Amino acid sequence: GDKVKQSPSALSLQEGTNSALRCNFSIAATTVQWFLQNPRGSLMNLFYLVPGTKENGRLKSAFDSKESYSTLHIRDAQLEDSGTYFCAAEVYNQGKLIFGQGTKLSIKP
């Protein structure tokens, strides 16, 4: 089964609304990273997380290693937030990241 499972797989929002994306892990994740792939295909790192929370502008992310999940909250969604969001987990000392299948987010004016 999927070691990193993202939900929902797709989401459509009105501009100005809020949303929450989630990743569940069936592996012992020690760190989590969130990425946004824009419609042109470029992958940009949004967050690098150890257990805890981080905030950057309208984005806030949390990682709970004991409950094996991570969330990404988007506040006041803007058109430029459209794209596919990926979470990825690292298992201790393995060095590589295991990626989820992504959440495709569409923001409508």
Partner 1 sequence: DAGVTQTPRHEVAEKGQTIILKCEPVSGHNDLFWYRQTKIQGLELLSYFRSKSLMEDGGAFKDRFKAEMLNSSFSTLKIQPTEPKDSAVYLCASSQQGDTLYFGAGTRLSVL
Interacting residue ranges for partner 1, rule: CB under 8 A:
31, 33, 35, 41-45, 48, 86, 88, 90, 95-97, 99-102
For residue 3, the minimal CB distance to partner 1 (Å) is: 12
CA 2, CA 108: separation in Å to the nearest integer? Answer: 30
In the bound state with partner 1, the residue whose beta carbon lies nearer, of 64 and 90, is: 90
Q: How far is the CB of 18 from partner 1 (least distance, A)?
A: 26
